[in-house]
Copies of this chain bind each other. A is one copy, B any other.
């Protein structure tokens, strides 16, 4: 009695209809391809070949490539949201100190990306904003909202931090919140460029050092 839940839209994997599973398979294959070659260079042909469906089958699920792009992004954003929730909520369970919560979250994030067997596969948000001309306004706005969502998330944490820990250097909290995204995006690029997956984790830990220095109470 493993799969009892059967609410439409909130299905477990096994409870999904066949169409939904095929759609998911297409998205999974497409995401990998897009992260390795870019959106424009990813052909529908290769996707359907790997997914073992026909071209008609593909266009049954997505009316054109743009709709694939949108679906990919939505899926990616959702998955990121889940991961970040897990990581930073865990910090809240372990301590009441907001600074420690943030530091724990960053550490866990670093460990999480370090444990990825082949390194971080890449972030669709970065892919999309380096290929903006390929997408319509709606997709671009989605991208923007995702980034702003990250900012809000970390800004909320930082707002609680500064109550107890006045920063040792004047700093804009929105910009500091954005720095988490910056270091993750930049770290992924560096990891990919050098083929050294560990770099992303290292850079996140460096950011963590910065946060520590910024908020740690000075001696004296």
The answer to whether B36 touches A131, judged by C-beta atoms less than 8 angstroms apart, is: yes
Q: Please give the count of copies of this chain that the complex contains.
A: 2
Complex formed: what's the CA distance from A206 to B165 in Å? 18
A211 and B219 alpha carbons, distance in the complex (Å): 19
For the complex, is A155 an interface residue (Cβ under 8 Å from B)?
no
Given A38-B134, A187-B186, A178 and B203 contact (CB-CB distance below 8 Å): yes
Question: Whole-angstrom distance from the CB of A183 to the nearest CB of chain B?
Answer: 6
A72 within 8 A of B: no
A156 at interface, CB cutoff 8 A: no
Residue of B nearest to A190 (CB): B182
A210 at the interface (CB under 8 A from B): yes
**Across-interface contacts of A41 in B (CB, < 8 A):** 38-41, 131, 133-134
Does residue A112 face the partner (Cβ distance < 8 Å to B)? Answer: no
Interface size on A, residues (CB 8 A): 56
Question: Residues of B contacting A171 with CB < 8 Å?
Answer: 206, 209
**Is A179 part of the binding interface, using a Cβ–Cβ cutoff of 8 Å?**
yes
* Contacts known (A186-B186, A199-B178); A193 close to B144, Cβ less than 8 A: yes
Whether A147 sits at the interface, judged by CB under 8 Å, is yes
A70 at the interface (CB under 8 A from B): no
Which residues of chain B come closer than 8 Å to A127, judged between CB atoms? 130
Query: Which B residues touch A182, using CB under 8 A?
Result: 182-183, 186-187, 189-190, 203
